[in-house]
Amino acid sequence: MKRLVKKHPLAIRWFHWINFPVLALMIWSGFLIYWANDVYRIGFADTTLLKFFPQSFYEALNINGRMAEGMSYHFVFMWLFFINGLLYVLYTIFSGEWRYLLPNKHSFKEAWQVLLHDLHFRKIAPPQGKYNAAQKIAYTSIIVMGFGSIITGLAIYKPVQYGWLCTLCGGYTVARIIHFTLTIGYCLFFLIHIAQVLRAGWKNFQSIITGFDAEDVKVAETEEEKITDAA
């Protein structure tokens, strides 16, 4: 027999699965826009270690020469991204779900232990609630990043009307760099997230769709219950 343990509330599952395609569209349309002035790179002086992005990347994703299309999608899906993110934050606040998600003063130390454990340098993972310390930091950071994308996005979108916001972000050029860097951050988050989901296995993955974890209950335990109930 199995006992169903509630894991992810329905609302959170909706927010998660709306966010996934919407953020994917935002990143893709962002690349369509960025292509028109693709000046960012990682390097020093004249040495470029990584150019954002190589021509092969644009060709593989069919990104060349589609800026207008990118802008039109970006400024439509921004609303879904913003509203979904806002509802998620409000939900976590009012449902109390934030308790599982917000890191505390021990989280950074524990996250390090989680990392060592995940990399097989440490045998025992620190005790955890619904999410381990590394997850808490990651899932909270991603919300802060989302907030950053919206703020820097608005600063770039209307740099004269929201000039104060643009100044707050360090100016137009800096706001654009932050906006881009956050996007690369989402891509890295996605890669790690996928790797961790694959590592955690089916039982973990299915819970973001079904909402529950099915735990085995020993037959003996069940029968014991029956006896107790009868008595």
State yes or no: residue 1 binds other proteins (CB under 8 A).
Answer: yes
Which of 62/228 has CB closer to other proteins? 228
State yes or no: residue 71 binds other proteins (CB under 8 A).
Answer: yes
Report CA-CA distances (Å) from 119 to 73, 112, 125, 178, 217.
40, 11, 11, 30, 31
Closest CA to 53 of 71, 31, 23: 31
Cis bond before residue 53 (omega within 30° of 0): yes
> Count residues contacting other proteins (CB under 8 A)?
43
Question: What sign results for the dihedral spanned by CA atoms 184, 23, 38, 141?
Answer: negative
CB atoms within 10 A of CB 231: 5
User: In the bound complex, what is the minimum distance in angstroms from residue 203's beta carbon to other proteins?
Assistant: 11
Q: Tell me phi and psi for residue 3, to 5 degrees.
A: -110, 135
User: In the bound complex, what is the minimum distance in angstroms from residue 56's beta carbon to other proteins?
Assistant: 21
Site string for other proteins, 210-229 (x = CB under 8 A): xxx-x--x----x--x--xx
CB 204 within 8 A of CB 197: yes
Contact residue for other proteins among 162, 170, 174, 177 (CB under 8 A)? 162
Which of 160/188 has CB closer to other proteins? 160
User: In the bound complex, what is the minimum distance in angstroms from residue 69's beta carbon to other proteins?
Assistant: 6
Which of 124/231 has CB closer to other proteins? 231
Site string for other proteins, 11-40 (x = CB under 8 A): ------x---x---x-------xx-xx-x-
State yes or no: residue 63 binds other proteins (CB under 8 A).
Answer: no
Q: From CA 28, how far away is CA 184, in angstroms rounded?
A: 12
Query: Encoding tokens for residue 168?
Result: 């707050």
Which of 70/146 has CB closer to other proteins? 70
What would the DSSP string read from start to end of 5-57?
EE-S-HHHHHHHHHHHHHHHHHHHHHHHHHGGG---EEEETTEEEEES--HHH
Which residues here bind other proteins, judged by CB under 8 A? 1-4, 17, 21, 25, 33-34, 36-37, 39, 67-69, 71-73, 75-76, 79, 157-163, 167, 172-173, 176, 206, 209-212, 214, 217, 222, 225, 228-229
